[in-house]
Chain A
Amino acid sequence: MNGNDAAHAATGVGQLNALIGGLEDKLAAWAEATSSWLGTTGKVTGTGIDKFIRPAVAGFMSEENSLLAGAGFVAAAGLLGEERSYIAWWQGADMERVDALANFSPQSTSRYVKAEWFKVPMATGQPHVTGPYIDLLCTDEYVLTFTHPIFRDGEPAGVVGLDVTAQAMERAALGILRQIGPYAVLVNAGGRSVVSASAEVDAGDVATLAQGAAEFPVGRQFSIYSATA
C-alpha cells in the first residue's frame, strides 16, 4: 500500500466509522431521552408510549438519507403490567405499525424475550447490534437491528431500537468500502459479511481475514477486512 492508498483507506475507515457511529449515537441519545421521560411519567400506558415514541420515529424516518427501515420501543414485562409486554414500532416511509396484534396477546412477551436484540441489551445494560439476520417479525428483510436498553429507577425497562436493512447499508457503504480497497469487506463481530466490495464475498457469507490484510474496527461491533482469504 503506498502513501496515497493508505490515506484513502484511512479516510474510508473514518467515513464508515462516522456512518455507523452516527447511528449508534442517535440511538444512545434517544435511549437517554426515553429513560428520562419514563422517570417523569407516573403510570405508563400504551397510549402514553405511542405518544412519546411515534413522533421520534417519524422524525428519524423523514430525515434525508435516512438508513432506517424502522424504529421503535419494546417494553419489558412489568413496565405496563405484570407479564405484559408492549411494542411501539413503526416501519417504512408511511409509518406502518409493526406487530400491533401482539399488544393484545397474553403471549406477547415470549415473542421478544428470547430475541437477541432484546435479550442482550436487557442482560448487559449495554447497546447491542444484532445481525445481519432475516427478520421475520417486522421487515421480512435481511437487517441489522441496533438496540439500546432504557432504564426506570436504575432497572432495565425495555429497549429502543433501529432497523437498518443490509441493502440500505450497502447503498451507503459500498462506495466508501471501494475507497478502502477492491477486496474490502464490512463484517459483524462474527466475521459475517454485511457489505462487500469483493467479488468473492457476498453479503451473508462468513469472511476470513486474508494473511497480512488489515482489520479496522468500525463502530462498537463491526470491522473492515481490507482483504479476505
Chain B
Amino acid sequence: MSLSPLGASRSLAAVFTPIKSGGLVDEVCRRIELAVESGLLPSGQRLPNEVELSAALGVSAVTAREALSQLRGQGLIRTVRGRSGGSFVTENSFPSASIAREKLQGLTRLQISDLGLHLQAIAVTCAGVAARRSGPGDVEALEAYIRPGTADGETATPFAWRLCAAEFLLEIASVARSARLARELLHLQADLGTLTLLPFEDADFCESTAELSGAISAAIGNHDSSTAEERTRELITSTTSWLLAEHSRSQR
C-alpha cells in the first residue's frame, strides 16, 4: 500500500465514518421540532397524519410513524384517538428556559467557548462583507430585526427576542450575499438551539443586544466594514460571556 509522503489527508477520515441508521427518523423529528420552535406549528396545532407527513416529506410511512412516536415520547406532541383525533402540538412545547438551563449544564465551558468562537468567525466575516455589499433596502431589512415587534404596552418575550436575534444574524449573511456563510450560520444556530433563549431573560442583555444590533446595522449601511466587524464581535462575545457566567453561577 502506498501513501503519499504527507500521509492521507485528515479530511478523508470523514468519508469512512459509518453512516448512522435511524438518521431519517431523526431528521423528520428535527424538522418538526424546528417548525414548533420557530412558531410555524403553534401549541394545539394538529399535525399531519402519517400518510400526509410521509407524502409531504418524501419518507416512508414507517419512518413517519416512528418519528411521530419519538416526538410523542419527547412530549412535543400528544395523540388523541377517535374521529376528531390526530396528533397535536402540546401546550408546553415552547422551548422552555428550564430545558435550556438543563442543556447548558450538560455542556463544558470548553464547548461553550468553542461554539462561541465558531459563531464569531462566521458572523464577523458576514458583517464585514455585508458592509461592502449593502445596497438600498438592506438596512431597512436589518432594522426590522433589531428588536421584536410588540403590541402597545406589551413587553416582548425572551422567545421573541431570541427569534429576532437569530433572524438579525441571518439577515447580515443575506446582505453579505454568501450562501455558504448563511448555511453555516443556520447550522450553528441549530447547534446552539434553545441555549440562546437564556440571556434574553435578562432585560439588560436585551437592551444591549438591541443597541449593538443598531450600531451594526448603521455601520453596514455606511459601508464601514471595520466597525461592523468590531460590533458584531462584541455582540457574539456578549452572548458567550453571558452563557459562561450563567454556567458558573449554577454550578456553585
Given contacts A104-B45, A105-B41, A205-B133, whether A97 and B57 have CB atoms under 8 Å apart is yes
Chain B neighbourhood of A204, CB < 8 A: 133, 176-178
Q: Which of A121-129, A131-139, A214-222 contacts B (4 or more CB under 8 A)?
A: A131-139
Q: Is B133 touching A101 in the complex (CB atoms < 8 A)?
A: no
Residue of B at shortest CB range from A143?
A: B179
- How many residues does chain B have at the interface if contact means C-beta atoms less than 8 Å apart? 29
- Judged by a CB distance under 8 angstroms, whether B174 is at the interface is yes
- Whether the Cβ atoms of B39 and A206 lie closer than 8 Å is no
A134-B35 contact in complex given A97-B57, A101-B41, C-beta closer than 8 Å? no
Name the residue of chain A whose CB is nearest to the CB of B46: A104
Residues of chain A in range 140-174 having any CB-CB distance to chain B below 8 Å:
140-142
Chain A contact surface mostly: mixed
Residue interface bits B55-85, CB-to-A below 8 A is 1, else 0:
0111000000000000000000000000000
Q: Assuming A134-B173, A206-B135, is B178 touching A101 (CB within 8 A)?
A: no
- Min C-beta distance of A45 to chain B, whole Å: 13
B170 beta carbon closer than 8 Å to chain A:
yes
A96 to B55, CA, bound (A): 11
Check if B188 is an interface residue, CB within 8 A of chain A: no
Interfacial chain A residues near B56, Cβ < 8 Å:
97, 100-101, 103-104
Tell whether, in the assembled complex, residue B182 and residue A107 are in contact, meaning their CB atoms are under 8 Å apart.
no
Shortest distance in angstroms between B47's beta carbon and chain A's nearest beta carbon?
7
Which of A101, A105, A107 is B31 in contact with, Cβ under 8 Å?
A: A101
Nearest A-chain residue to B181, judged by Cβ: A134
Nearest-Cβ distance from residue A103 to partner chain B, whole angstroms? 7
Given contacts A101-B48, A107-B40, A142-B178, 19 further A-B contacts (CB under 8 A): A97-B58, A101-B41, A101-B56, A101-B57, A104-B46, A104-B47, A104-B52, A105-B45, A106-B42, A106-B45, A111-B40, A133-B174, A133-B177, A134-B179, A134-B182, A140-B183, A203-B177, A204-B133, A204-B176
